[in-house]
Structure 1
Amino acid sequence: MNRSSYKITRPDTEIRGLVDYFWEGEVCLDSTRQTSFEYLAPASTAVDLIFFNKGYFKDSLSEKTIAQNGIIYGQKASFNRYSTTSKQATIFGIKLKSSFVFHMLRVPASEITGHQVDLRTLLGCSGDRLTELILSSHSMEEKADTFTRFLKGQQREVQTKFRALEKLIASVDFLAEPSEISNQLGSFFLSRRQFERDFKTLTGFSVRKFSRLKRFELFFQAIQSNQLTSSFTQAAYQFGYYDQAHLNRDFKEFTGVSPKRYADTFLR
């Protein structure tokens, strides 16, 4: 058995506006000579909903053990590192768009930026029930189906301006020059101040911070999936950075390590 495994499944078309994907990770230290497993969670524009099926993880920075289920980890501009010494640890997660917070929970996404909150606090008894149903499901597919049914039963009408803003954000090329990104977004608003407020309500970030994070995420996805076909210097230009130093600064701010260190430590 491998030391760790990771798989994802895509959501139904109906909920893709709120859910990026479902995922499941398993660590099996009893089949290796390793005594611990470490995971780096970079800065992200997305929201994570996490359930621990087996074992536990520890926050490597705070040393706190993390085992509570049904926790929403808000979008963030910082990174976390988690580790486990459990012989077996299994996690089920749901990668949510930041707009999920506003659409489903009826609170601005900015209220949970950088924070963690459990489903009971957000949804009351229905949050407890959802947690129980997901934990009692036997497979990743069953868990995904359970959440999908819940979400479909909870969806509400959203103001037209926020629907339009979502479509605009989805159409923006975040690898473009900052001025070009500003021009693309500028076609949407009448009042810059109101636009900034609505943007932060939906995404949890200012336009500038969100743009930086999206650029980083696109590069991070490429390096994580081994899709880079050039040196880091060339990749920096391809992903809209001024130079490699610019790339390195952003990457270290959002992960705590350089691109090379990340590749050497976490991708081998």
Structure 2
Amino acid sequence: MFTSKMYIPNEKLKDWIKVFWFLEGSGNGKLSYTRNILPDGCATITFVLRGNMDLTIYDNSTIKTGIYVIPPVVNAHYDVISDDIFLIDIQLNPSIFYKLFNLPVNELENRIYTFDELSLGFDKSILDKINEVKEDKNAIYLLLNNFFLALFDKLKFYSDEIILSINQLYKNGNLDGFFNSQSLSIRQIERKVKNYTGLTPQNISRLGRFYSVLEYMKFRQFNIEYCELALEHKFSDQSHLIREFKFFTQSTPKNFIGNINNYPQFKGLCNITEIKNSTFQA
């Protein structure tokens, strides 16, 4: 019904882009299905090449063929996806939107934006180029890497200290380490992080820990030792672990494992790929 796969971007993009997520349906567009969406706290650039999708949490929720910017969310929700969908979600790291668009994330409305609205010089012919090679995922991967390398180069993009620190917080959830690494007051740090990400440092830390739990579940092949999991990820106890998990998934870990087909992002995470030995433009 749906094929979900994630690709790790080129090494030169790793500070800026988390993953490329490919979601593709095998139907003819006559049916739609409800799927649970895991929040990741990241703004995304979404290429819709075929079909449509209703992102129910936003005010203007339907997207179809085009390029969109999706503001970050921290709440679990569901989307309604046509069975012929083909989309590519460029999941930016939490701190990147502000630098890329020069717009504080906390000023975004609860709606989906087009690239034209955000006034970024953007070559929309990338959609046509992807369509020309749509049966070849490696070719699409190469196009995406070259496209974003050129875009970030054009904008003279670089990773400063706050970007790297926020990325690290998102990866390890170490809130104390994050605050201790900054020379600003806690209030100044919180304000700056809110501008960059639309989230508080506390929410970024929670998301980072949640995704670490998903990685644990994936690599343990769902053979979960809850005491070990709670201890390793610094939850106060198993109840705390389950409560946090339910916040981000609307499900207990046990029910989540039994219904992973309803979570296309997690299926993509279980099928994450790094393509090596590809030729990239300079």
The answer, yes or no, to whether TM exceeds 0.5 is yes
Normalising by structure 1, what TM-score? 0.78
- CA change 1:97–1:135 in 2 (3 A) is farther
Number of positions where the alignment pairs a residue of Structure 1 with one of Structure 2: 255
> In the alignment, does 2:179 pair up with 1:185?
yes
Moved more, 49-58 or 256-265: 49-58
The aligned runs of 1:126-165 (5 Å cut-off) are: 126=122, 128-131=124-127, 133-135=129-131, 137-138=133-134, 139-155=136-152, 156-157=155-156, 163-165=160-162
49, 56, 59: which one aligns with 1:53: 49
Letter paired with 1:201 = N
CA distance in 1, matches of 2:181, 2:81: 48
Aligned partner letter, 1:256? Q
Partner of 2:113: 117
Aligned residue in 1 for 2:275: none
Q: Give the AA of the match of 1:43.
A: P
Corresponding residue for residue 251 of structure 1 = 245
Alignment RMSD: 3.2
Instruction: Tell me if the contact between 2:94 and 2:167 (Cα under 8 Å) persists in the aligned partners.
Output: no
- For residues 127-183 of structure 1, the C-alpha deviation after alignment (integer angstroms, 9 at most, x for no partner) is 645555545553444444444344333333568xx711222334457355xxxx324
State the alpha-carbon separation in 2 of the partners of residues 113 and 240 from structure 1.
Answer: 34
Single out whichever of 97-106 and 120-129 deviates more from structure 2. 120-129
Corresponding letter in the other structure for 1:24: F
Which moved further from structure 2: 47-56 or 131-140?
Answer: 131-140
The unaligned stretches of length 5 or more in structure 1 are none
Q: Give the drift of 1:105.
A: 0.7
User: 1:32-51 maps to which residues of 2 (within 5 A)?
Assistant: 37-51=33-47
| CA deviation vs aligned residue, 1:38-60 (integer Å, no higher than 9, x gap) | 42211212222222222223346
Shift of 1:201: 2.2
1:236 aligned counterpart, secondary structure: helix
Which residue does the alignment assign to 2:259?
265
Residue 76 of structure 1 aligns with which residue? 73
- Give deviations 1:211-249, integer Å, cap 9, x for gaps: 112111221343356545433343222222112221222
Larger proportion of helix: 1
User: What is residue 207 of structure 1 aligned with on the other side?
Assistant: 201
- The match for 2:12 is 14
What is the TM-score when the length of structure 2 is the normalising length?
Answer: 0.75
Which position in structure 1 is the counterpart of 2:270? none
Give 5+ residue unaligned stretches, structure 2: 263-282
CA distance in 2, matches of 1:109, 1:98: 10
Aligned to 2:23: 25
- Distance in 2, Cα, partners of 1:254 & 1:235: 17
CA–CA separation in structure 2 for the residues paired with 1:163 and 1:106: 15
Task: Determine helix, strand or coil for the equivalent of 1:70.
Answer: strand
Residues 74-116 of structure 1 deviation map (CA, whole Å, 9 limit, x = unaligned)? 2211122123353x33222212112221121111233348642
Match of 1:92 in 2: 88
Query: Partners of 2:74 and 2:66 in 1: how far apart?
Result: 23
